[in-house]
Amino acid sequence: MRTLKSIQNYINGQFVRGRREFADVNPADGSVIAEVTEADDALVDDAVQAARKALRGEWGRIGVRERAARLHKVADAIEARFDSFLQAEVADTGRPVALAAKIDVPRAAANFRVFADAIKMAGIESFQTETPDGRGALNYAVRKPLGVVGIITPWNLPLVLLTWKVAPALSCGNTVVVKPSEETPATTTLLAEAMQDAGIPSGVYNVVHGFGPGSAGESLTQHPDVNAVTFTGESRTGAAIMKAVAPSVKPVSFELGGKNAAIVFADCDFEETVRGLADAAFLNTGQVCLCAERIYVERTIFERFVDALKLKAESLRVGWPTEQDTNLGPLISAQHRDKVMGYYRLAREEGATVVTGGSVPEFDDARDQGFYIQPTIYTGLAESARCVKEEIFGPVCHVAPFDSEDEAVAMANDTKYGLAASVWTANLKRGHIIAQQLNVGITWVNCWFLRDLRTPFGGVGLSGIGREGGIHSLNFYSELNNICIRL
């Protein structure tokens, strides 16, 4: 009999079992890969108290240089365990192994290195202040940790988005309690081993497993001794967390959903644009918050573009995540596939033309017990259709024609979300002008998901609150204390 792997909570430097367990499922074939032990309120409290205590221990005493050195050691430890992280992430998420090897594990290490260096380079503000009596004053600010930061992460890029928040939080001297998605608990737990290898003191990095409402997620966000909450996930979960933290007025940073637009002009580099937008629509089976679900194409090249994108979508290899030449793995869960299939049906009811896809592929092997879905392109929907307005979060896009720049910008901006956009044109002057008119946190011109970790990252409207990245992360994860000295 095969013994299932057990994924445990990590509290005060120890792996700890909870009272209930739930299954960690491989989305490629529906098999159970591990039992995950859920943290109840008491264990969440233990984790928060361990994190509080660690603020007053060695972690609270070491200086910025030593903190940064240890974060580089965390990056070294991730790189040393590259294959374990890779296998765990692929099994949990179903993302293709080539993608995870190129993006997820290297980015986890990069997140620690970038914020280790950023905190060493971060200056403080100071002002010489003139006063009526001529004596003047000196104002300067010091950066202090917020305290215990609660970190809640989603399933779509578990390791990237976890380390994107843990690294800057630790670089600023905080301690953390992380609640990963119930769908993808493995790499958050593996990171605990990397923390141990790197000499991060007990209690600095804690992990509690479980669900959202009525479980570890809610318990963490409501905990009175958590000083700030940083969350990535759905917009409506962000709203629930906002309510939970309101009574204790905690700072929040929210990276939420999107319904991102791409605008394609007739003068674009056609091949590069089709390649770029095939990635933007289908990468990670469309489960990237930055994916383009709305593509607006100048009418003169509309049909040629739709034909080319169709060819590209149909050339993608939907397969086992562990095979090197797989382009698309499954969706994360049966429940998520039901949701995406619901939108595929709705698109037809709303009058869409199905250019390609629209259903579930058949394999005649164990993948039929997995949660695969076809990459799908629609045209012909009204701009008011729910499929054009609501985030679907699958490998799907709607392509619509436009006749003028103003019309393209108006359609792109007609959304309650505002995370990301892309503009494709050989005319860079037009690229700048259009990009500046888009109501989003990030616009890419002639590229997509090209990241520089020093830049502000976040969204407007339903897409989030605040910006992370570079100095923006350091400012969120620290409390600035301004000191005014009378001279």
* Interface contacts to ligand 6OD, rule CB under 6 A: 156-157, 161, 164, 288-290, 451, 457
Of all residues in this chain, which one has the CB nearest to ligand 6OD in the complex? 289
Is residue 240 at the binding interface for ligand NAD, with CB under 6 A as the rule? yes
Q: Which of 172, 289, 387, 397 is catalytic?
A: 289
Dist CA 12 CA 193 (whole Å)? 13
Which one from 38, 182, 183, 255 is the annotated catalytic residue? 255
Indicate which single residue of 10, 85, 282, 393 sits in contact with ligand NAD (rule: CB under 6 A): 393
If contact means CB under 5 to 8 A according to the sort of partner, which of ligand 6OD, ligand NAD, none does residue 212 touch? ligand NAD
CB distance 136 to 128 below 8 Å = yes
Start-end of H helices in 81-215: 82-93, 97-99, 105-121, 158-171, 186-197
Q: Which does 459 bind (CB under 5 to 8 A by kind): ligand NAD, ligand 6OD, none?
A: ligand NAD
| Dihedral over alpha carbons 383, 389, 391, 392 (to 10 degrees) | -50
* Spatial separation of the C-alpha atoms in residues 159 and 418, rounded to whole Å: 24
d(CA 405, CA 263): 9
Give catalytic status of residue 255 as yes or no: yes
Please select the residue that binds ligand NAD; options are 59, 85, 155, 371, rule is CB under 6 A: 155
Q: Which residues contact 232 (CB under 8 A, 6 or more apart)?
A: 152, 153, 154, 161, 165, 254, 255, 256, 289
The residue type found at 305 is F
Of 132, 213, 224, 247, the residue at the interface with ligand NAD (CB under 6 A) is: 213
212 binds ligand NAD (CB under 6 A): yes
- The reply to whether 268 belongs to the active site is no
Taking CB under 6 A as the rule, does residue 466 contact ligand NAD? no
- Using the contact rule CB under 6 A, the part of the chain among 111-119, 147-155, 311-319, 422-430 near ligand NAD is 147-155
> Helix 64-80 vs helix 186-197: angle between axes, to the nearest 10 degrees?
120
Task: Note whether 104 binds ligand NAD by CB under 6 A.
Answer: no
Encoding tokens for residue 89? 């992430």
Sole binder of ligand NAD in the list 77, 228, 289, 377 (CB under 6 A): 289
In the block, residue with structure tokens 């491989």: 26
Residue 395 sits in the site that holds ligand NAD (CB under 6 A) = no
The beta strand positions in 250-408, using DSSP E, are 252-255, 260-264, 292-298, 353-356, 376-379, 396-402
217 binds ligand NAD (CB under 6 A): yes
**Residues in 161-190 that interact with ligand NAD by CB under 6 A:** 161, 179-182
Nearer to ligand 6OD, 46 or 468 (CB): 468
Burial state string for 82-96 with b = 16 or more CB within 10 A and e = fewer than 16: eebbbbbbbbbbbbb
- Looking at 350-437, list the stretches that DSSP marks H as alpha helix, in order from N- to C-terminal side: 386-389, 405-413, 428-437
- Is 392 a binding residue for ligand NAD by CB under 6 A? The answer is no
- Pick the binder of ligand NAD from 148, 241, 278, 400 (CB under 6 A): 241
- Please tell me whether residue 121 adopts helix, strand or coil conformation: helix
Query: Which residues are the active-site residues?
Result: 255, 289
Q: In the complex, which residues of this chain contact ligand NAD (CB under 6 A)?
A: 152-156, 161, 179-182, 211-213, 217-218, 221, 232-234, 237, 240-241, 255-258, 289, 391, 393, 419, 459, 463-464
